[in-house]
Chain A
């Protein structure tokens, strides 16, 4: 596709100016950034389904993490207006067509997300979903698929649980709530993108507190992609 025919520089130089372009063009966090200084954006999406090629984003929740601190002042919860009706997913997420009437278009939502994510590492629990859906959306709107530096709390949890053992972690132990309960983090009843993003951010703080004494000092060993 685009990657094979042209250089990344060529692609980005042709992009219209805006948050998406600035996100990919401006420098991203260095691999050597000390843990205390890593800037991340914990992100969670609610979607109409699990297939990025067919399903759509319904909402984007995010909250910034600055080093070892979650900054609630930067929290955001974007409702996205999809094409067609919401269907069955509304019963899961509680998002109705009515609520979506006030929502942003996918392009506006993506701009708001990239503005918040500027200069930050994407932080998510099982990040593949977020990366694929956000990538697809960007591809559809701007014609390119951005590279996301990603820290995945599920991958970190796998790493922490399988330390020194050959066995894999017990099934279910990697799920967000199960992982959180291992650190005594409060249980969240609500199920929406912002709450899950916050839950992920808190889990990250706990994991990093666990990893630091093990010699993890910089961004590099935390990164998934």
Chain B
């Protein structure tokens, strides 16, 4: 008998993991299924009930409640449920309710167990290890990684050998001899663990040969003192930006106190001559905001290419942020050229996503001015003009102004280190919930211009104060837990068939669930990092997360931010202003499932956190 249940067959073959089954196995499977119908409001599996079937939602929508209470997941057609109980042969730990009239395919337990044994790919799909699920999702999105590029390479990987160092007591001649012997173009002048300076070929050429300085002078007279260093975790492209920013060709690579080596512009150039390099190089050449806008105008295409080249969301964020930083920095220099030198030293701090190295396409500007304590009221006119120049320039380059006016153009956010310290002190010790929630992005500040010593002083204050500020942390924690990932979105898929309105998913809210959770844990543990991934790792090292939930959260974050960047790049390519709203039509069934998994991971992390928080921090 030639039985072709074509409709059921096609339905299964378009939904993982059934789509992974060999054709023969799938054909056979269709004939082993049953169909059941559940009216809206009916319980399909009762909490604690025995369950010997796997269910596949054919049409309608269901809710899955853990322990009968918390909504774990809202599933749309194609989703499988009852999996854990049929696998473990234990009573169901979930209550499953039809929230719409639902048609359900039922797979007998023995059929399911046979598939698990016989079809490894199929079985893998049901692996409960969230970590692996997300890892696979990310891998599937990105495909096999291609050649390493300037965007994927970490500075630490470029350091090929121990640095050549010399003592500050040496003469210029002796130092030059060491450089020739080792065939290096730069020599680090160190004292114990400390880097005192760096001597390069160029110093020898321009300062000694051209200026007739005696070769018997100490090397300290011509070296560059206290050179800028870079961390091994930084991306090659960030190193490149740093070099372009201060016009040097060498950066010492330092991990904490440990000197690892030296990275040169030549090392970077030898990496793929990918476009980002030229993009970034162009920024330094531009002499006007309009010129800079021609550079940022190429950014969407670049992001699309990077996605094509399988860069990760973290890498793309870092690149986009590096460009934003370089644009800000360039605008500040242009402003100074126009307005004259600043009356007192200042630092330009970026906040929010730019501060966290998570700038995306269409992200807005968040920045403040941190002035030297010597600044007076009269100086403000200069900084107001500076801020307006940069903000307007950023706007020209496609960065919208911050709707909440958290920008240096706002006189409230143009103040001295002393005043900032007072502000942070008040937020930390006398938190009024609204004020603190409003101020959250301030805690993600990062200095991109002006040295950063004041910014670090400020950060030290926060690091020592925040872990001892339970009320402040309490406000942040409450907010972090109350912000729910858009699990309910998947219900929208179902409602959509009525055609009344198109449901879209706000990926930003999913991203922010992680950002906020990680921020509060990082502040509670006195962590200095601002990047969400670095904060998460540090918080985990401090014991705030288990290694499993650390990895699961990292991957969930990567997956959601990746989808967001891809969406924004597609919008930009279509000439639409980038946003965070993704239509379900743009996601494959597998991506929808992974997205649901990602939201589930975030929700569980929040719940775990809520529990821990009350017991450990609020006591």
Contacts and interface: CB of A to CB of B under 8 A. Distances in A.
Contact of A202 (B3, B32, B35, B100): B35
Contacts of B1: 76-78, 112
B59 interface: yes
Interface string B1-41: 11111111001000000000000000000111111111100
A191 to B, nearest CB: 11
Interface stretch (A80-88, A179-187, A215-223): A179-187
Contact of A72 (B2, B34, B39): B34
A188 B30 CA distance: 16
B5 A190 contact: no
Interface string B48-88: 00000000001110000000000000000100000000000
A184 B62 CA distance: 13
B166 interface: no
B106 A184 contact: no
Given A78-B1, A185-B103, A194-B3, A202 B8 contact: no
Nearest to A76: B1
B573 to A, nearest CB: 32
Given A69-B35, A206-B37, A209-B37, A184 B6 contact: no
Contacts of A76: 1, 3
A68 B36 contact: yes
B34 A184 contact: no
B108 to A, nearest CB: 10
B4 A77 contact: yes
B2 A210 contact: no
Given A186-B59, A206-B101, A71 B34 contact: yes
Interface in A173-225: 183-186, 188-190, 192, 194-195, 198, 201-202, 205-206, 208-210
Contacts, number: 85
A210 B103 CA distance: 14
B227 to A, nearest CB: 67
B106 A69 contact: yes
A208 B1 CA distance: 30
Which of B11, B30, B34, B100 counts the most A-chain CB atoms under 10 A from its CB? B34
B101 A183 contact: yes
B426 to A, nearest CB: 55
A58 interface: no
A225 B113 CA distance: 43
Interface residues of B, number: 30
A185 B35 contact: no
A195 B35 contact: no
A75 B101 contact: no
Contacts of B35: 69-70, 72, 198, 201-202, 205
A195 B6 contact: yes
Instruction: Give the contact-size bracket for chain A.
Output: 20 to 34
Nearest to A74: B31
A75 B35 CA distance: 12
Contacts of B2: 77, 79
B101 A184 contact: yes
A190 B59 CA distance: 17
A5 interface: no
B39 A209 contact: yes
A73 interface: yes
Given A77-B1, A183-B101, A185-B103, A190 B38 contact: no
Most buried by B among A75, A183, A184: A184
A201 to B, nearest CB: 7
Contacts of B497: 184
Contacts of B60: 184
B494 to A, nearest CB: 8
B109 to A, nearest CB: 15
A13 to B, nearest CB: 31
A183 B3 CA distance: 26
A34 B276 CA distance: 72
A117 B42 CA distance: 31
Interface string A29-70: 000000000000000000000000000000000000000111
Contact of B7 (A68, A69, A195): A195
Given A72-B5, A72-B31, A202 B106 contact: no
Contacts of B3: 75-77, 194
Interface in A111-144: 112
A189 B77 CA distance: 17
B32 A188 contact: no
A209 B36 CA distance: 10
Given A72-B30, A76-B1, A186 B103 contact: yes
Contacts of B32: 72-73
Given A69-B106, A78-B1, A186-B58, A205 B37 contact: yes
Contacts of A184: 59-60, 100-103, 497
Given A184-B100, A185-B59, A210 B8 contact: no
Given A72-B33, A72-B35, A190 B6 contact: yes
7 contacts: A68-B36, A78-B1, A184-B60, A186-B103, A194-B5, A195-B5, A205-B35
Given A79-B2, A209-B37, A209-B39, 7 more contacts: A72-B35, A184-B102, A186-B11, A186-B103, A192-B6, A198-B8, A205-B37
Which 4 residue pairs of A and B lie closest in terms of their CB atoms, listed nearest first? A205-B37, A70-B35, A209-B39, A186-B59
